[in-house]
Structure 1
Amino acid sequence: MEFIKKYYYLLSGLFVFIIYLTTLAPTVVKIDSGELSAVQTTLGIAHPTGYPLFTIVGYLFSLIPLPFRDIYKLNLLAAIWCTAGTSVFVYTTKFVLDNINSFHITRKEPQQKSKKKKKIKDAKTSIQAFSIPDDKKYIAAIGGGLILAFSRTFWMQSTSVEVYSLHILLVSLIILFLVKGFVEKNSSTKFSRNWILFSFFLALGFTNHMTTLIILPGTAYLFFVKYGFNKPAFKKIGLMLLIFFPVLILVYSYLPIRASQNPLVNWGNPLDLERIIRHISGKQYQVWLFSSTESAKKQLEYFFSTLPIEFSINLFIAFIGVIYSFISARKFGIFILILFITTVLYSINYDINDIDSYFLLAYIAIGFFSVFGIVKLLSFLKIQNSYNIGAALISLFILVHFVITYPKVDESETYIYEDYTKEILGSVSQNAIVFSYQWDYFLSASYYFQLVEKYRKDIVVIDKELLRRSWYYNQLEKNYPGVLDGVKNEKELFLNALKPFEKDEVIDSKLLENLYRRIMTNLLSTNIGKRDFYIGPELFENEMQKGEFILPEGYTLIPDGFLFQVVKNTKEYIPAVSNDFKIRIPERKDKYIENIINMFICPMLVRRAMYEFQFDKIDRAKLYIEKIRKDFPEYKLPKALTDLF
């Protein structure tokens, strides 16, 4: 028992880590997974805000000679970060409970002159103090840690490479040393180790993810409650800034240093101060910040509608904890409430689809409230000085939520993004160009497979949307020499017209759009004689239908695999690659997996079947239809095909 009490937070983390291993993704997953893993293994520069700390540490970890693929090692690192974050959270909550009276607001009694009245005052003060038995503290800290660790979004960060897993650990460390600094008994003039470490980890937090700023309002509350608004307090802040800024600048100096070496992934090419600021500030994405009250309302509704999914029955415990934290440790309760409100208010004003990770600090706040809820429940259920019944009930709550959440986060069988990406790259001809903007499903993953595992490096993959960014042309020329030779004039005109846009100056939007479309069209027309050219179905369904992307005269499209191939107009039949591919579909299908199946794979197979039918290749057409029925039985085939086959 003494061993458990001594290493309770490490043992909690070990238990969580073992569970996390069972849900770990074996390869790349959706959205930024492929790009971020490529950035880490090649020591590149990621999308804004650059994530230099994440990149450097990931690169060093990838060098460890473990018997795994690089992508699995980096996914494993994500699980380690989340595990460590859980351990720090458990340790922090136990520390808060140990020092609960430091966070309690006692009523100030009027000055009493007589000794008799002074004794009465002391008696009243002692009544207001809280004393929590050690067993209850351990149960509450570990229970709260497990509630948080097995909440959906927190758990998801442990399954694959992402910046938020490291963010969880850094935020947990920031909060730990913040509360330690708050509790310490030294004077406001002394600059303790806790505030040094707080400043250090706060700087590291900002070098990993800029949403670290969300913690500042709550930090300011605790700091000024302890020290007040006075000269010594501001002097202490000045000393912390002397630590904060050098660490921040040192880590972020990675961006221009590495950009000067022109790495394979060089997002933003942050060589000069203007580009560095634009990259770190996430200028590219600010268009989605505070865009409208309607989007904020939509995100707020989404947040509250998904809370039961995040915590299920444990929300009841957290609700009790909100009330009890304000009774027993009001200062800490206010800090957590500020953290919760600030996170929600900031995040709902970011109009993106994958918003869940931005609510992480709110979920951590709920985790803290859950700890206080467990303390109160244990007190309520205490029978004959034993917490066994209460602990059993808390364990049941956690177990129920665990069983509900596990299948929702399990990525252990998620191979679909690897299979889909490799099928696209593997099906096209030698030195071909693939033109697409399927970032979440294919393009991001292609970074990893081409740059790290060297799979089909001969293929030129061009992101249609990134052609709008000046830095992307440098990366294309670095990775695919000669591919832009035919659009040199258009490129120079476009980049010159783009400069005012990137500096927030007045622009000729019509000219900019026309030049952009000319680049797209001429990329095709100047390369089609040298390389086979393929486009993604999303381009056909959107840009081509709107007239924003036009094929050169004398060319048409034929469905070939999961892409369209650009070919000369002909009445002759053009065979496609074999349809004998294998896409492994996991049992857990989120909206991204559904999109791959229903927006890309099956529609392209249907189009190919129709193409085969037009040339009286009935047997070939049947093969594609049978493939859909066998591998994707839930997909609804067009009635025209079901009538024919």
Structure 2
Amino acid sequence: MRCSSSPSVARDSNSSPFVLASWDKWIAGILAGGSAALYIRTCAPSLLFGDSGEFQFVPYILGIAHPTGYPLYVMLGWLWSHLLPLGNVAYRMNVFSSFWAALTVGTIFLLMRSLMTRIVGGSDLAPARMAAGIASATFAVSQTFWGQAVIAEVYTLHAFFVVLVLLLFLRWTQSPLQRARIVAFAFTFGLALAHHRTILALLPGMFVCFLLLRPVGDRGVSVALPRARVVWREGMVGITCLLAPLLLYLYLPLRAPYVPYTTISLSREQQLVLYKNTAQGLLDHITGAIFAENLRLGLDLWGTMPSWTTHLAVVVELLRGQFGLVGICLAFVGLARMVWARQWPWLSLTALSYITGVLFNLLYAIGDVEVLYIPSYLLVTIWIGFGLVTLSETVTRVSRHRVGYSVFLFGVALPVWLFVQHLPQVDRSSDVAAEAMWRPILERPIPSGAVLVSNDRDEMMPLWYYQYVEGRRQDLLGLFPRIVAEPEYRDIGGVLDQAIASGRPVFLIKPMPGLEVKVQLQPREALAPTIQVVGLAAARSPMHRMDAQLDGYVRLIGYEVMPTVVRAGDTLTLHLYWEPLQPLPHNYTSYVHVVDEQGNRIAQSDHRPGGVYYPTSLWKQGEHLLDTHTIMLPSTGHAAVYQIWAGMYLYPTIQPLGAAVRIGSVTVMD
């Protein structure tokens, strides 16, 4: 093994084109094939919840996916799901992700081989090949990427484009005015942009890298400065090739009239427009305008420093979950190698792309943001490869023997260890939860035209799959919060209001404890696990009216005590009728206290009205809600008339919301 990492040698390596040898092709193919076998073995066998459930039916029917639309994924998925005679449609789309993931792993190997030729150089190719192979295998079994490779999702295709764009960029930098390379690089970048816009995170790194590769005295590579006319001509070719794939977004308005769910008719007056087929609607969809509120822009950096440090700690923890501490240490060694060898172009390409991607993710507050870190993990994988080569060269230099290869034996242990660690977490081969939930529901004699309601969009996607792919129970209508942007559908309470107003039969698809504060529920064994909604809980007037405000936020408009005459040890039921006067800032706890003549509390009930599904922070101004408390009176009490007090407080501080309200009394008899 020969060490060829001196700065003078590595700095000029970009002038020598990387030639793909037969061994490289074979190794890339083996890595891709092995990864495919692994992903298919651990792939989900059928229907899934969430975005995966959506991506299992949208491509098959050439539908419209949630913003930003993903037209390229949809059209490729249509071909795949119709041409692949394997399992059901849901499984085919899961394997679709496995296919792109496997191609990504093989292409990573080629990308690292190309970079190592420029940075490491040397005539002994075995160390570079071994390092690239081990690093590629490490990425293949990284937790998040592997987890996305076994479900229907867009991120493995995005990862493939990230690797391919970087590989074509390297080829283009060697001959910037060669038209074939311009077209390949620009067109691929345009396709990637038509798929997922976070590909833009590569631009700063590629731009700085290209500038550093241009001649600066005697430090740069020999790329001749072209004439202005040639630059203009080839630049226009590149721009045209870059923009042409964006025409794929025209798929959305052209296909929209034929997609069955772009407009959902809840009633004649209630039309839910999921995709507005207008110029503004198209722009909002492809730019993801609905997610703009998730961007944490305009933050005071120093004022929010504790928050930033917390987020950065999460980034480090996520990275450790992918590669472990050993992988992170190898990545730092690879970075140090680039700095020591003064490989500023390639350092800027990888480091700036990493920083840009991570910074965007830190500013983008969505629930599944961890999947957006996959491109950054890919760049860390490159550093791991260089770390392995560097350690091997260092051992060889110190020992003066070819024992440097022993480093790669140590390196092989990394993907093996990650495989063992991550397999139980990502294996979806026995995941049938979505089928187990929805098959019993669809087998029940639910009335025709009924509305099925969930608090979670993810749970509703399997229903749409069964309806649009298998044609089952197309008369049913699934609703969930934020199905459209209108404020009436912002939460489960608003969805239930709209569903009841439609006049259709309404059912919850699962028990949601606490919703009794909002609606009357009637479980029926023949329709289980669904629960019928028969109306609003506070539809009738309370037995005892009153007007008692709690700190101007909510008022108690009435109550009921049943029974009013009891014996010691009996159970007391109390109904509190609340009306919010303005949005409540917190999830409050309501209470009912039974006190004796001396003011001593003898019994009480405290709970959070609405539970987790409709807590007080979701209550709307002017609506009426029914809060039911059940109190067991002590068996040792004596005959007397006891006073009943009610109110709210914030748990766990026990800070009261206004003063307690006396709501009546109960007589305890001997």
Q: Same fold (TM over 0.5)?
A: yes
- Is 1:566 matched with 2:533? yes
Alpha-carbon displacement from aligned partner over 1:419-456 (angstroms, at most 9, x marks no partner): 1233333346142321223222x112222122112333
Q: Deviations over 1:335-363 (max 9, x none)?
A: 10101111110001111121111111110
Aligned residue pair count: 486
Letter in 2 for 1:256: P
Establish whether residue 534 from structure 1 lines up as the match of residue 534 from structure 2: no
Change (3 A) 1:268 1:278: farther
Given residue 301 of structure 1, which amino acid in structure 2 is its aligned partner?
A
Which of 282, 290, 294 is the equivalent residue of 1:288? Answer: 294
Counterparts in 2 of 1:15 and 1:381: CA distance versus 1, 3 Å: farther
Q: C-alpha offsets along residues 389-417 of structure 1, whole Å, 9 cap, x if unaligned?
A: 22211111221121111111111111112
In the TM superposition, what whole-angstrom CA distance separates every residue of 1:456-514 from its partner, at most 9, and x where no partner exists?
33322122421445xxxxxxxxxxxxxxxxxxxxxxxxxxxxxxxxxxxxxxx8xx789
In 1, are the aligned partners of 2:104 and 2:159 still within 8 Å (CA)? yes
1-side partners of 2:119 and 2:405: how far apart? 23
Q: Which position in structure 2 is the counterpart of 1:412?
A: 429
Q: 1:538-571, CA deviations, whole angstroms, 9 ceiling, x for partnerless residues? A: 86636x64xxxx54xxx5443763443124899x
Spell out the pairing of 1:46-57 with structure 2 (5 A cutoff): 46-57=65-76
The verdict on how the C-alpha distance between 1:138 and 1:522 changes in structure 2, with shifts beyond 3 A counting, is: closer
- Return the match for 1:261 from 258, 271, 275: 258
Please give the secondary structure, in 1, of the residue aligned with 2:258.
Answer: coil
Q: Aligned partners of 2:27, 2:333: CA distance in 1, in Å?
A: 24
What is the TM-score when the length of structure 2 is the normalising length? Answer: 0.67
What's the secondary structure of 2:418's corresponding residue? Answer: helix
Question: CA offsets, 1:296-337, max 9 Å, x none?
Answer: 555433221222111113222112111112233332122101
Name which of 212, 215, 219 aligns with 2:202. 215
Match of 1:74 among 72, 76, 93: 93
Aligned to 2:185: 198
Q: From the superposition, tell whether residues 192 and 274 of structure 1 become closer, same or farther in structure 2 (CA, over 3 Å).
A: same
Cα displacement (A) at 1:181: 1.2
Residues 147 and 426 of structure 2 are in contact (CA less than 8 Å); yes or no, is this contact kept in structure 1?
A: yes
Please name the residue that 1:389 is paired with.
Answer: 406
Change (3 A) 1:279 1:436: same
Aligned to 2:249: 252
Partner Cα separation in structure 2 for residue 228 and residue 76 of structure 1: 46
Cα distance in 2 between the residues matched to 1:513 and 1:464? 5
CA distance in 1, matches of 2:160, 2:254: 26
> What is the deviation of 1:172?
1.0
How many angstroms does 1:520 deviate by? 4.6
What is the aligned partner in structure 2 of residue 239 from structure 1? 237
Secondary structure of 2:83 counterpart: coil
Structure 2: give runs of 5+ residues left out of the alignment.
1-20, 217-224, 264-272, 538-610, 614-670
Of 383, 396, 399, which aligns to 2:416? 399
Q: Secondary structure at the match of 1:534?
A: strand
1:39 has 2:37 as partner? no
Matching of residue 324 in structure 1 with residue 311 in structure 2: no
Shift of 1:272: 2.2
Shift in Å at residue 381 of structure 1?
3.4
Q: CA RMSD in A?
A: 3.1
Structure of greater Rg: 2
Q: How do 1:490-569 residues align onto structure 2 when only pairs under 5 Å count?
A: 520-521=496-497, 523-528=499-504, 532-536=505-509, 541=514, 545=517, 550-551=518-519, 556-558=521-523, 561-567=528-534
AA aligned to 2:354 is F
Closer, same or farther in 2 for the Cα pair 1:414/1:260, shift >3 Å? same
Q: Give the aligned partner of residue 281 of structure 2.
A: 275
* 1:428 to 1:351, Cα distance in 2 relative to 1, 3 A: farther
Could you tell which deviates more after superposition, 11-20 or 77-86?
11-20
Match of 2:140 in 1: 149
Q: In the superposition, relative to structure 1, how do residues 565 and 428 fare at CA in structure 2: closer, same or farther (>3 Å)?
A: farther
- Please give the alpha-carbon distance, in whole angstroms, between the structure 1 residues aligned to 2:498 and 2:117: 68
Amino acid of the residue matched to residue 194 of structure 1? Answer: R
With over 3 angstroms needed to count, the CA separation of the structure-2 counterparts of 1:70 and 1:265, relative to structure 1, is farther
- Residues 52, 255 of structure 1: 8 Å contact kept: yes
Q: 1:355 aligns with which of 362, 369, 375?
A: 369
Q: Which has the higher contact order (CA 8 A, sep 6+)?
A: 1
Q: How does 1:362-511 map to 2 (within 5 A)?
A: 362-382=376-396, 384-385=401-402, 387-427=404-444, 429-431=446-448, 432-440=450-458, 442-469=459-486
Q: Is the 8 A contact 2:49 2:460 kept in 1?
A: no
Whose helix fraction is larger, Structure 1's or Structure 2's? 1
Letter in 2 for 1:71: A
For 1:461, what is the secondary structure of its paired residue? strand
For 1:17, the aligned partner's letter is A
Task: State which drifts further: 451-460 or 369-378.
Answer: 451-460
Q: 1:569 to 1:270 in 2, by over 3 A?
A: closer
What is the aligned-residue identity percentage? 22
Gaps in structure 1 of 5+ consecutive residues:
102-129, 470-508, 571-597, 601-645
Pair 354,6 (structure 1): closer, same or farther in 2 beyond 3 Å? closer
Give the structure 2 partner of residue 174 of structure 1: 165
Q: Tell me the secondary structure at the aligned position of residue 531 of structure 2.
A: strand
Distance 1:265 1:564, change over 3 A: same
Residues 400 and 82 (structure 1), Cα distance of their counterparts in 2 relative to 1, 3 Å cut:
same
The 1:139/1:522 distance shift into structure 2, 3 A limit, reads closer
CA deviations over 1:91-136 (Å, ceiling 9, x no partner) = 11111112327xxxxxxxxxxxxxxxxxxxxxxxxxxxx5262001
SS of alignment partner, residue 523 of structure 2: strand
SS in 2 for 1:7: helix
